[in-house]
Amino acid sequence: MHTLSIKALAVGLRSKKFSARELAAHFLKRIEAHDGKLNSYVTVCADSALKEADAADARLARGEGEPLTGIPLAHKDIFCTQGVKTACGSRMLDKFVAPYDATIVARLKRAGMVMRGKANMDEFAMGSSNETSWYGPVKNPWDPTRVPGGSSGGSVAAVAAGLAPVATGTDTGGSIRQPAALTNLTGIKPTYGRVSRYGMIAFASSLDQAGVLGRSAEDCASVLEAMAGFDPMDSTSVDRPVDNYAAALDKPIEGLRIGLPKEYFAEGLAPGARDCVMNAVKKLQELGATVQEISLPNSPLSVPTYYVVAPAEASSNLARFDGVRYGHRAEGVKTLEELYKRSRGEGFGAEVQRRIMIGTYVLSHGYYDAYYLKAQKVRRLIYDDFKRAFQSVDLVLGPTATDVAFKLGAKTDDPVAMYLNDIYTIAANLAGIPAMSLPCGFVDGLPVGMQLMGNYFDESRLLNVAHRYQQATDWHTKLPKGFE
């Protein structure tokens, strides 16, 4: 059951091959058997998942189910889930039980999906290796000595190891795409504003976007369609109808114009990864696409721009964690200042503190213009690069990460090396465009992902191209040893 697509699971549920309860129990058994090695879940919903599954079975029995009814999923622990601990990978929220559901959690619940549990993640989504989590690092199912990528590391490890058919994730600078690439999954970060951010614990508000991690574009399409859409509770969500992603999946891609940004294939990209991506390009050409080299000249500015904007917003967003109303509160404090200093000092890990300090610095009086304002201007240039590119191509294709998954601990002492992991993914967040990663080969038994970036609200095209590619290849069907 854990290797079936969502479509196949839905058929199985309707033909009574298995019930939603059996499905939920099956994944629970696999979590119990395998997650000790991976640490992908921080909370497993034992009872509530079975109750939700029973409700799904009842709906299906009445013939009322929707396409996702009875399908289990894991939510990244960044989404508030009513009555269930929502810790965001942080000691700060170790005891925080959310009193409400995030909009996307409520929507998927309404669609009948069964929450199997909450997935581990980098603390407050700050990290590219899932090593900053208060709950310990997540291991890559393809090689447990390696990282799964981050920050949605728990989500990808769970899906790649067959501990959930699909999972939600969030992507601020690559946190869906990079881990997808490192674990042979398909992951999509939609256009900024396509999916509600209400109830998703904010890291960098102008960059954060929720998305899906699954084993195929088809699986991602069905879940994204249920998540997406305008939410009056989020002023930045866009009031525009959601396309029928599933219906567009099979459209032929003849005549598709693909742009390969030369900056994405320059120095820094591992040759093995490069070969995998170029082979994928050839395959897409065979399927009828045309390819041209393009330039995104401001690409080199992405990482420095991001590391001004994201920490600035994070320093502000994380100010609410003060030990006063909820979250970690230091014991034995005597003054208000001590309450703040010690609660935050104890509650936040090193990487989060580093980013709060960077962010506080760039927003401080006398530095704002030189850093934050300047970064916003550069952001505009990056956006203009894409705008220009989309005048001559339909989508931009490149590598997702510079290389395959690295070893646990390899970059934990070098923040800048860690930050450079996201060199290909950050631009899409800065511009707000949709982007996805999908499997395109292996180097030494480790997966490589390619990235597709589309124009605003062109999720449908991204999913269509990814699906056509997956129909013609079998990379995405490969499973890690020991988890088949």
Partner 1 sequence: MSRHDNWEAVIGLEVHCQLLTKSKIFSGAPTAYGAEPNTQACAIDLGLPGVLPVLNGEALKMAVKFGLAIDAQIAERCVFARKHYFYPDLPKGYQISQYELPIVSKGHLDVDVDGQVKRVGITRAHMEEDAGKSLHEGFGQQSGIDLNRAGTPLIEIVSEPDIRSAQEAVAYLKKLHQLVVYLGICDGNMQEGSFRCDANVSVRRKGADKFGTRTETKNINSFRFVERAIEFEIERQIEVLESGGKVIQETRLFNPDTGETRTMRSKEEAMDYRYFPDPDLLPVAVGKAEIERIRGAMPELPEAKKQRFVAQYGLPAYDAAVLTGERALADFYERVVQLSAADPKTCANWTTTDLLGVLNKTGKSIERSPVTGEMLAGLIKRIVDKTISGKIAKEVFEAMVAGEGDADAIIKAKGLVQITDESAIVKAIEDVMAKNPGQLADYRSGKDKLFGFFVGQVMKATQGKANPDAVNRLLKEKLK
- Total residues interacting with partner 1, rule: CB under 8 A: 44
Q: How far apart, in whole angstroms, are the C-alpha atoms of residue 226 and residue 242?
A: 9
Q: Smallest gap, in angstroms, from Cβ of residue 103 to partner 1?
A: 9
Residue type, 380: R
> In this structure, what token pair is assigned to residue 59?
């709906």
Residue from the set 100, 230, 383, 442 that interacts with partner 1 by CB under 8 A: 100
Instruction: Report if residue 340 touches partner 1, rule: CB under 8 A.
Output: yes
Catalytic residues: 76, 151, 175
Q: Smallest gap, in angstroms, from Cβ of residue 79 to partner 1?
A: 8
Instruction: Report if residue 313 touches partner 1, rule: CB under 8 A.
Output: yes
Residue from the set 265, 326, 383, 442 that interacts with partner 1 by CB under 8 A: 326
Instruction: Report if residue 83 touches partner 1, rule: CB under 8 A.
Output: no
Instruction: Report if residue 98 touches partner 1, rule: CB under 8 A.
Output: yes
Q: Which stretch binds partner 1 (CB under 8 A): 149-157, 285-293, 319-327, 465-473?
A: 319-327
Instruction: Report if residue 164 touches partner 1, rule: CB under 8 A.
Output: no
Mark residue 288 as left, alpha or beta (left: phi above 0; alpha: psi -120 to 50; beta: remaining).
left
Instruction: Report if residue 232 touches partner 1, rule: CB under 8 A.
Output: yes
> In this structure, what token pair is assigned to residue 97?
């039980």
Alpha-carbon torsion angle 113, 114, 117, 118, nearest 10 = 20
* Residues 6+ away with beta carbon under 8 Å from 432: 191, 192, 193, 383, 456
Q: Smallest gap, in angstroms, from Cβ of residue 372 to partner 1?
A: 6
Q: Smallest gap, in angstroms, from Cβ of residue 316 to partner 1?
A: 5
> Which 35-74 positions form the footprint of partner 1 (CB under 8 A)?
none
Q: Pick between residue 234 and residue 384 the one whose CB is nearest to partner 1.
A: 234
Q: Smallest gap, in angstroms, from Cβ of residue 337 to partner 1?
A: 9
Instruction: Report if residue 197 touches partner 1, rule: CB under 8 A.
Output: yes
Q: How far apart, in whole angstroms, are the C-alpha atoms of residue 471 and residue 457?
A: 23
Q: How many CB atoms lie within 10 A of CB 481?
A: 9
Q: How far apart, in whole angstroms, are the C-alpha atoms of residue 197 and residue 235?
A: 9
Longest CA span, the chain: 70
Contact 454, 461 (CB under 8 A): yes
Residue from the set 102, 213, 284, 440 that interacts with partner 1 by CB under 8 A: 102
The Cα angle at residue 236 between residues 127 and 111, in degrees rounded to 5: 80
Q: Parallel, antiparallel, or unpaired for β 186-189 and 257-261? A: unpaired
Give me the residues paired with residue 167 across strands: 74, 213
Q: Pick between residue 72 and residue 323 the one whose CB is nearest to partner 1.
A: 323
Q: How far apart, in whole angstroms, are the C-alpha atoms of residue 212 and residue 224?
A: 6
> In this structure, what token pair is assigned to residue 371?
């850093």
Instruction: Report if residue 289 touches partner 1, rule: CB under 8 A.
Output: no
Q: Pick between residue 245 and residue 321 the one whose CB is nearest to partner 1.
A: 321
Instruction: Report if residue 265 touches partner 1, rule: CB under 8 A.
Output: no
Contact 178, 421 (CB under 8 A): yes
Q: Pick between residue 319 and residue 472 the one whose CB is nearest to partner 1.
A: 319
Where on the chain is the footprint of partner 1 (CB under 8 A)? 79-80, 86, 88, 93, 96, 98-100, 102, 197-202, 204-206, 232-236, 312-313, 315-316, 318-322, 324-326, 336, 340, 360, 363-365, 368, 372
